[in-house]
Structure 1
Amino acid sequence: MTDRSTSTGPLAGLRALEMGQLIAGPFCGQLLGDLGADVIKLEDPTSGDPMRQWGRERPQGQSLWWSVVGRNKRSVTCNLRTREGQDIARRLAERADILIENFRPGTLERWGLGYDDLAAVNPRLIMVRVSGYGQTGPYSQRAGYGSIGEAMGGLRYVVGDPSTPPSRTGISIGDSLAATFGALGALAALQERQRTGRGQVVDSAIYEAVLALMESTVPEYQQTGYVRERTGPILPNVAPSNVYPTADGGWILIAANQDTVFRRLARAMGSPELGEDERFATHTARGERQAELDDLVAQWTATIDTAELEKILEGHAVPVGKIFRAPDMLADEHYRERDAIVEVPHAKLGTVAMQNTFPRFSQTPGSVRWPGPELGQHTVEVLRQELGLTLDEITRLQQEGAA
């Protein structure tokens, strides 16, 4: 039996009912669970969340991605396409604070599980609805994935090198942003519920979550006609701030674009005169000669190994950082000191290393209490404890494909 009393996070005592699958909805549930909420995840009895099958590396057939996005959740099998499965969901929603779903808009309404239906039995319920285009508008019924939201929100166009087509960031950032805004919206709605006693719908569209992070790209065009383009690793006219090669085949990021910091970099390079050279002495001058300056810095960094280069630049108080990969994260002393990565016991894999919960709280920290559970691992527990069903009733529901 799952011991929920061990939850100490700031959301301990709250219950979230997670419907939907893949990333956009489940990551929202992960965030709430990380902070202590009791997250009950409803999954199709036959296959469960497709995330159980995702990921290139699957030791012993186990999805490592699922171990992260499914963590801190209780898995309950429930066929939402059946009348009895819908009844299970309705009864669980009656006892929930937050419901998370990322079906295509209108799906829950067809199942009799729309917000109006559920609010009739639980007016305090907050429903987080994550979708590609939102619950309204001419595109709302389109199939919407994170990649499409990233394109429509403007992110894909500005990511990558100018010599290549628009690029992916390397992670499912659109889905995760929509999930994060969904979690933020849920917390804001909880505060509002404190005043009014009523819940509401939080409508988090992927393309809008991406758009929210697009800085001043819209007013730049609206006011001046300027469209930001792909610039690779640089920020145009801000130099030196780039990724530079090292002697041992690595890469290092140096951000020395402020006047005083550039002078420190020049001294670190053994060329203090560069700091006073009229070609590079000011922010504007360095921006105008960005390529030339980057080439000078790269010629220097390419003669020194990465670790030694870090020491030199840190000794001169120049902002510097390696381009981290997973091996670097696991070996880094700062990661280790702050427990940024934790090892979580896993029934089949021993322990699984994964990112800790963030942000940090001084009094009520979040925690990773268990990795993504087996499909239906908590079905009997939840249906007996929360709904009062007998073992015979649960067995019948399972045999009929409803649970």
Structure 2
Amino acid sequence: MAMALENITIIDLSRVLAGPFCTMILGDLGAEVIKIEHVEKGDETREWGPPFLSGESAYYLCANRNKKSITLNLKSEKGQEILHKLVGSADVVVQNFKTGTLEKMGHGYEQLKQINPGLIMAQITGFGKTGPYKDLSGYDYIIQAMSGLMSITGEADGEPVKVGVAIADVLTGLYTCIGILSALQHRNKTGEGQEIDISLMDCQVSSLINVASNYLCSGIIPKRMGNQHPNISPYQVFKAEDGDLVIAVGNDEQFKRFAAVLGRPELAEMEEFVRNENRIKNRDKLIAICEEHLMKRTKIEWKERLDAAGIPNGPINTVAEMFEDPQIREREMVVKIDHPIIDDLQLTGSPLKLSKTPVTMRHHPPLHGEHTEYLMECLGYNAEEIKNFKQNKII
């Protein structure tokens, strides 16, 4: 079956998470992704751990399937020649060097488009190519802090808290995918390549969504609310008899049904709770009533009752419990991939379910430089040249 991005070649000069996550998604969709790594160390995440499986970092494994790995010294003259050959037949370059780094090395967009006028280059940085912070390094944690995200995350009376995953990196990877797919569509129409300037800071600010809009519309600085929602109530974590669950009552009609499930249908008729804006004003009183009743049954009992009434809810699972959920297995969100040195490698599956061009898991996350000789041969270099390149640490 055809894949959506068949015949698209991506040169991946990125490391760590945002760039590799982006190129993995493109690889899942069928693109040929060539991951260029440092000759000695490779992608930094190869050393991030534990855990390690047969010497391979779990962090590295999470974002690098469906790629080929070549080691290349980009500072050497021959390394530049090899890169330019790769770029000459590529469609997209993804890189996350600090602003100006590749330009100084002779590999910036303006330089590479002389080799390949239709080239699309996505440059991922912490703060973008312009502005007073353009030369600063951008790490996910720093971006979560500076973007305002941490100021709204955590308990109201507690300290600011980061999200449990590198969410700015993940969101930037997704936005970069969107930019690349848009640029490919533009090139299909016009033949023109282009540069994509994308930053972690911009992506995280964009992703504040309603919280940012609340401030822009009201001038009121958002605060940490723990597990409560700033615009809806009841919409938070509650304690049942045997543990925690989330209940998300999204509108007035749902609240009527929720009140009935609690055994307190009259709540939905009371002036202080009848509309969402009233429930927000009287949140503390409403939550106290809900907590009193919810403590009388188990999580499973409440889930059955709430599901039957069409009230969104769910238990707070551990990661282990999540992966045992039959819904996760049915949706193939755990996949097994053959690997040359790891037995029974399991990775998180793709959420993209395309009926005509489904994603495929064609290649394991490559070993460091696993495809170097193969790709060099594809570029026309002979065995003696490849041997010489290795001896001189060009590859």
SS at match of 2:352: coil
Distance 1:63 1:207 in 2: 27
CA shift in 2, pair 1:222/1:287, >3 Å: closer
Q: Is the 8 A contact 1:36 1:366 kept in 2?
A: yes
Report whether the alignment pairs 1:240 with 2:227: no
Q: Deviations over 1:117-168 (max 9, x none)?
A: 1111100110000000111222211122122222333222222222122211
Q: Say which of 370, 390, 393 aligns to 2:382.
A: 390
2:163 aligns with 169
Amino acid in structure 2 at the alignment position of 1:12 = E
Aligned to 2:368: 375
Answer yes or no: is 1:353 the counterpart of 2:372: no
1:311-345: CA deviation from partner (whole Å, max 9, x where unpaired): 12112221111223322222212222221222222
Which digits, 9 at most, give the CA deviation of each residue in 1:182-220, with x for residues without a partner? Answer: 111111111111122121100011100111122255565
Query: Is 1:399 matched up with 2:391?
Result: yes
**Structure 2 equivalent of residue 198 of structure 1:** 192
Shift in Å, 1:393 = 1.1
TM-superposed CA distance for 1:8, in Å, is: 4.2
Match of 1:302 among 295, 302, 314: 295
Residue in structure 2 matched with residue 4 of structure 1 by the alignment:
none
Cα RMSD for the two superposed structures: 1.8
Structure 1 CA distance for aligned equivalents of residues 309 and 215 of structure 2? 40
Conserved 8 A contact 2:232-2:249: no
Query: Which one-letter code corresponds to 1:128 in the other structure?
Result: A
Equivalent residue, structure 2, for 1:99: 93
| Counterpart residue number, 2:262 | 269
Letter in 2 for 1:75: S
Gaps of 5+ in 2: none
1:315 corresponds to: 308
Counting matched residue pairs gives 395
Asked if the contact 2:66/2:364 (under 8 Å) is kept, the reply is yes
Query: How much does 1:259 deviate?
Result: 2.1
Q: Secondary structure of the residue that 1:251 maps to in structure 2? A: strand
Aligned with 2:170: secondary structure?
helix
Alignment of 1:69-88 (within 5 A): 69-88=63-82
Cα 1:194–1:59 change in 2 (3 A) is closer
Partner residue of 1:36 out of 20, 30, 40: 30
Look up the SS of the partner of 1:136 in the other structure.
coil
Give CA-to-partner distance per residue, 1:343-388, whole Å, 9 cap, x none.
2223333223222223221100112223311101111111112x11
TM score, norm. by length of structure 2: 0.94
**Distance (whole Å) between structure 2 residues aligned to residue 10 and residue 173 of structure 1:** 26
Which residue does 2:337 correspond to in 1? Answer: 344
CA distance in 2, matches of 1:56, 1:299: 43
Under a length normalisation based on structure 1, what TM-score does the superposition of the two structures give?
Answer: 0.93
Distance 2:139 2:307 in 1: 42
Q: Does the CA contact (< 8 Å) of 1:242 and 1:294 recur in 2? A: no
Which 5+ residue runs of structure 1 have no aligned equivalent? 1-6
Identical aligned residues as a percent: 33
Mapping of residues 78-157 of structure 1, within 5 Å: 78-157=72-151
Q: Distance in 2 between matches of 1:145 and 1:20?
A: 14
Aligned mates of 2:212, 2:258 — CA distance in 1: 35
Whole-Å separation in 2 of the counterparts to 1:196 and 1:152: 38
Deviations 1:284-326 (A, max 9, x none): 3322221222222223323322222211211222111122332
Indicate if the aligned counterparts of 1:356 and 1:367 stay in contact, CA closer than 8 A.
Answer: no
Counterparts of 1:9 and 1:228, CA distance in 2: 44
Q: String of CA shifts for 1:209-249, please: whole Å, max 9, x gaps.
A: 1111222555654554211111111113521111112222x
